[in-house]
Amino acid sequence: MGKIEDLEVINGEGYQLTTLDKAVALARSNSVWPLPFATSCCGIEFMATMGSMYDLSRFGMERMSFTPRQSDLLIVAGTISKKLGPVLQKVYEQMAEPKWVLSVGACASSGGIFDTYSVLQGIDRIIPVDVYVPGCPPRPEQIIDGVMNIHRLVKHESMRRRYSQEYRHLLSEYKIEVTNAENDK
Amino acid sequence: MQKMTNSELSQAIYALFGERIALSEELYDTLVIEVAPKDAYEIIEQLKQDPALSFNFLTLLGGVHYPEMEGRELCVVYHLHSWKNALRLRVKAYLPAEQPSIKSVTSLFETANWMERETYDFFGINFEGHPNLTRILNMDEMDYHPMLKQHPLEDATREDKDDRFFGR
C-alpha cells in the first residue's frame, strides 16, 4: 500500500524521481473518499467494514462523503429497484471525475435473488462498474478486498484516461454526459 | 362491556342490508361479506356511521386476481375494524376484468388514498372519485399492472438464468 518502491523510480543521492502520472495516482489511491449508497443488508455489512473491528480507515478512507460532489468512489451496497435506478444514475452523474464504482453484493451486481419485475437486474445496466464484490451479503473482508482492488485500479490509471475516446464511448453507452468534454485530447 | 359476536354482527348486517349482502361466511374467526360493487361505498358508509356497529377504521384495502372466475376476475377487499366492538369485518366486491371500476372510499377514510393507489398500481382497478389515482410503488414508466396473473413475475430482461436448470 502506497510504498514508493511500487513505482518506477530513479534513485539518486538525496532525491527520487518518478513521473507525475504515478505520483498523482499514488496519492489518489490512498485518499479515496467513498460515497456509501447502501439500501439493504449489504449496507449493514458495509457499516461493519467502516467500524472499529474491520476499520476501513486503515486504507486512507477515513472520510465517508455523503455528497456525491465530494466523493471519488461510489459504493453501491444493496438491492436497487427500477424506481431507484434513475436516482442512482443521477448520483453517479453528480460525482466529479475521476470516479470509480464498487458494486457490493449479489443484488447490486446482478439483481441477486430478486428476479422480479420491480428490481434492477444489476447496476451495470445504468452505470459503469469497476469492481464487483460477490456475496449475499459479502463479509467485511470481501468488501475490503473489493476496495483494495479499486485502489489497485486507481494506482495504475493514467491521468489521461478520463479524456480518452474509449472512456467517452463507454459513458455514451450508458447515455451519461461526459464532463470535461472540452479537454478532450 | 358486552362483546359483540360474529353471529350477532351477521344478524345486525342482514337487518340493515338484507338482500344486498350476496354472501356471508366466517373465515378464520372473521365475518366475510360479499357485496355488489355499486353498493360497496354505501354499505361501508353505513357500517361506519351506524352507532351500534361503528366500523370506524379501515385496516386494509387491497386487490385479488382470480383469472378463472369469468366476469368477476378482480376483487377489492376492505378490512374494516370496529374499535367499539373490538370486531373485524371483511367486505369483498368482485369486478369484471374489462374496465374494473368501483367508487373510491377516500371520502370516508383518508387512509384509503394510498391503498387505492397501490391497488390501482398493481391490479389496474379504477377508483372513481379518487383525488390522485397514479402509480405509487412501481416506477412511473411501467406500462402494465404487475399483479395481474397474465404477466410473468420474473424480470424479462435477465440473461443469466438457464431454463434447463429451473425445470422449465
Close Cβ partners of A145 (under 8 Å, ≥ 6 residues apart): A133
* Cell numbers that stand for B83 in this block: 374499535
Which bin fits A45, alpha (ψ -120 to 50), beta or left (φ > 0)?
alpha
Whether the predicted pLDDT of A1 surpasses 70: no
- List the beta bridge partners of residue B91: B33, B78
Cis omega before residue B51 (within 30°)? no
* Chain B residues whose beta carbon lies within 8 Å of the beta carbon of residue A116: 153-155
Tell me: pLDDT of A140 over 70. yes
Q: d(Cα B105, Cα B80) in Å, to the nearest integer?
A: 12
Q: Which is it for strands A34-38 and A73-77: parallel, antiparallel or unpaired?
A: parallel
Q: CB-CB: which of B138, B151, B155 is closest to A115?
A: B155
In chain A, CATH 3.40.50.12280 covers: 31-146
pLDDT at A179: 65
Please state the rounded mean pLDDT for residues A72-83: 92
User: pLDDT band at residue B109, thresholds of 50, 70 and 90?
Assistant: very high
Name the CATH code of domain A31-146 (choices 3.40.50.300, 3.40.50.12280, 2.60.120.10, 1.10.3720.10). Answer: 3.40.50.12280
Average predicted confidence (pLDDT) for chain A: 86
Beta bridge partners of B76: B63, B93
Contact A119 B155 (CB under 8 A): yes
**A112: Cβ contacts below 8 Å, ≥ 6 apart:** A79, A105, A106, A136
Query: Would the pTM count as exceeding 0.90?
Result: no
The domain locations on chain B are 16-151
Give me the pLDDT at residue A164, please.
Answer: 84
The reply to whether residue A115 touches residue B146, judged by beta carbons under 8 angstroms, is no
Chain B, nearest residue to A119 by Cα:
B155
**Cβ-defined contact of A83 to B151 (cutoff 8 Å):** no
- Total Cβ atoms within 10 A of residue A80: 27
Alpha carbon distance B38, B14 (integer Å): 18
State the smallest CA–CA distance between residue B59 and chain A in angstroms. Answer: 26
Q: What is the pLDDT of residue A149?
A: 93
Q: Do A118 and B160 make contact, defined as CB atoms within 8 angstroms?
A: no
Give residue A37's pLDDT. Answer: 92
Second CATH level (architecture) for the domain B16-151: 2-Layer Sandwich (3.30)
Cβ-Cβ contacts under 8 Å, A83 against chain B: 137-139
User: β-strand B87-95 against B30-35: which pairing, if any?
Assistant: parallel
- What is the pLDDT, as a whole number, of residue A185? 46
Which tens digits make up the pLDDT trace of A18-46? 888 888 888 888 889 999 999 989 999 99
pLDDT (average), residues A104-122? 90
Of the ranges A173-182, B12-21, B103-112, which one carries the lowest mean pLDDT score? Answer: A173-182
Least Cα separation, residue B46 to chain A (angstroms):
38
Among B142, B152, B155, beta carbon nearest to A121: B155
A179-183, B95-99, B161-165, range with greatest mean pLDDT: B95-99
Choice among A140-144, B13-17, B126-130 with the minimum mean pLDDT: B13-17
The confidence score (pLDDT) of residue B127 equals: 92
